[in-house]
Structure 1
């Protein structure tokens, strides 16, 4: 159906299905009869005629419409819904078998296939035959000219999988039409034949990055940073290298391969770039492990903008937000509405994930990028510290994403830059000039060591992650049960009344009871042999974060080299080592049961063997006395109970002889007690800074982190 047809159709099911029949004379029996008629014609390899092809198309559309209605109809019982979906599956099976006999029918299964007046009339007649009440608008057959069919972003096999969150429907209803871009439709003079038109250019362009560097870094010239930082919100300040990138966007550049090393703030640069370019709504396609951090960075650097994160089928999505964040894993089911929302910018984080042009993930992302570029002059950014992993051809998907190449040839923008060199691949100097031409399209690459003056010598960066699997749900349930147990203890203690000996008002007595209950729970937890308590809960959180943390550490290892991975529990270390092995990353292990000789052998291998990528270390066993300065990145997969233990772990890398700024990436399970523990650890670190370093940070509580965490759980439960 055309887009206008889809918009009309999306509002029809609720109107059309008001009159459902208790007997078996609804729409499904009509569709079942019609699909059998079509099936009977597609025998012995015969091609269907025009009438039956139209029938086939209308059956497919009405089946999808009826399926969507059945899934959302609150008046249907679960049994009735299951029965209707089962019968619709039977119709879908017959359609598929028929299309297998006549493969020319497959294109008619696409939701974008344009309807003819005959198809509209047939649809109307069948609905009337089924007993459906139609509105006056539905009775009118339009013969308006349909625009030429565009290549659909949605592969036919994903048509049934598409979901339209309720928030998106609300946005479509509030503003169903995108403002037209007349500039792209204007007639243009045919491009004159150019000197390079007969040359195969992609091969030479890729080779130019292998042979044409001349020792020069692959980074475009950026304008100087403004003397005054007008981009950052109050309380934050851009680093010099970040400000230069944002200034380039402000001056009009619109496509970038931002290949800065991890730890240099690519996310913040992208968020502010969208702000100065006015590239809203902005689509951010990111790995699952960083999507919560993306939302936090949007709100941190552009507090006047709203971010929304797509989880699963889009529950809780705010389609009116300025920035829509989606992870690669759920992209396939949201292609339909993402491709039509009217994004004015797109960011693809860890863009090396799409290096394989033949993977489904790459096809989805590139299809969306093409749809977004077709709407005007959007801001397009690919972020990756490792644009090349296997070979130089890894550039191809990223260049296509950014609109620098189209299939196997440069797009006009890049071709114009190549023409300006006045060289061909047969000329001496072409490779260096061609490499510079591609870089000027928007490649930006800075290393930590290049901008060390911008960076603090050591910093901790929190990466909040969403635990949306079964283990994550069980953790949240365990937290609820813990809170309920604490509340029950508190209510029993409160019912006993306030002793006469207590010196304080009611609020003081309340705080006193909360502390006593939390202290009691902590003592019971320490001596418990089984059952759920704060310690088992934290261990479960570590297990749930293991794969996400190891995934991020693997990304770091691929992009910047050696990484130190810290965990508290052996099973988390085991899971991480398995994950690294599956990614062909060599590891060493530092554990408490090793002899001194074995441990030193592992340390030497990490520091001296270039093939060893990750040191997997126990927080308690490897927190002191080790030198792991071959790395400048640390991943803290689990949190310690003390600020000192965390600091000692980071100091295995941040020590004399370290030539690069050190970044510790702390993986935090959002919306769990993990986040509160991180906050409490930071307060303890602030206490040490005040006592030892003369810092004026605010003093926190003197309670242990475990006790303070339990107090927090109880206070939250009591409201």
Structure 2
């Protein structure tokens, strides 16, 4: 007897996405079939317009998956480790390191409270949000990431947490930090422990580990060492038997494949208590968070492949064999997992109500035409693939450590060197405009911080300061740590020092410069977090004035490309850390304060009078025309003229007084009638800026009119063109409207 075997049809693959968004709820996305939508509604699902998905109670997850898997091959289900991450650390932390099982035991003594375990002398000096940060750490066995925005005060929270667990220094602690911050940490621990211990000195128990061949002193209870040294002295450090570890600027460990990370990450995992500090835990990608979460919860995040598949949106790489994990996915879930038991993060705008505002100005400047031509010629020869690699670095250890040799392998070292040359030329091309801008800025403010990347740019700024006989400090990679602290204090305490010339690498973290409230970026940096770190040298606790960050974007350089990439990276970082998409926002509307010379003020006043005269003339004409028309004319025409008058008023009020009483040019918004003045989007400065014979040109697009405003264009254009002709006849004009 012959039996016919019936083959089952393969199930259709369904790419429905599931995300945990709360202990009790999950989100279902990418549901387009009406039948599937009805299934969700049967489980009491509610549609979330913001996140474009259906929200269900977590208790329905198993039943929902069971029903869907009968119909489809469902992908993107919630993996097991996600549910494990929703549970706090229990009595035993069980994990493996290099195939060896490790166990860390906890009891009730590891759960503390600020009120019971910190003296009143220190509690009185803490902000409420700092107390909450300490409480969060105590409730989670002191294995946490404090990711407060830079300038909020992470150091003091870590010091207080450590004190509560060290029991009056009866146990040992290690502080790992960048080399430039070693003496800063010694200073801060001394300062705050004197408060905690009622004046008792602890300096004799603190040792700064200077070199890998140093010996750890017997009385040392607090060992401070840099990331670079600890990797070469890890065996000696392990014998120190630290009870608690603090890793400052923990994003130094973002790449698990570096020698530094391979030495330090396993060491930190084995400590009973670990405090990670960084204001920028994910410089650009979820991939860079893995090292940090694996330190805090080695029992949950056991391998990168599971994590990467869930949160890094892996795709086939265009540059190497294998997958590219530089993407981002399930950001809502990752944010919730981080903030549930591992990470606490507060932004300055949320917790420091008295901290002055910070705004960014994007200023377009002209560049040296010959250098601009060099940049254009180089970019023509550079392959798009090489440029893409540089703008989106692959997760490759060789690239992270030695980009030159990486390109030398199969990616063209000469191409990479060409881009590095373009990067340097981008700074040189606008250097004269940077110096002009700085000179004018110093006429209205007492102190300015200037950041740059290349030595040649720093040298030119230093030469400018010497030529103008301006006192300054300079901090770059050649300055020793002890000397750096001295120079910072000089800038802060000496009113005669007006310029701080700083390199990104040496001074974008670990120093406080709140005596200045203006930061000038002579060059852009590849990484958004570095830019924000540099900004927050001034915008932090202790700042009393609004901080303005001046970004000078050179025409025909790499600046615009870097600016766009920074915005893209910041969107991903904001979604993961803060639970919402954010940009590195620029206040693209403000005109530089240095335009406030007497000549420009007078010209602005004259132009205001011209505008007012045109306004009166136009109003007179409109009145006469109304008198001649018949009384039975439609009211619509009167309404149109009134709307036209509102827009004319917007044009007339292009100049107003800012907070300091200085004149400032503004851009007109033709779509929002309620606001007569809003700032312009971009500022363009011509070669000899700010020489008064040159024009300060402010552009606006006619495309901004939408259909409902077409009826007033005729009324608007006529007086504007009359004004334009008058202004063009004036050789001293500094503001024109361009069609």
After TM superposition, the score normalised by the length of structure 1 is: 0.34
Structure with greater proportional helix content: 1
Structure with greater proportional strand content: 2
After TM superposition, the score normalised by the length of structure 2 is: 0.33
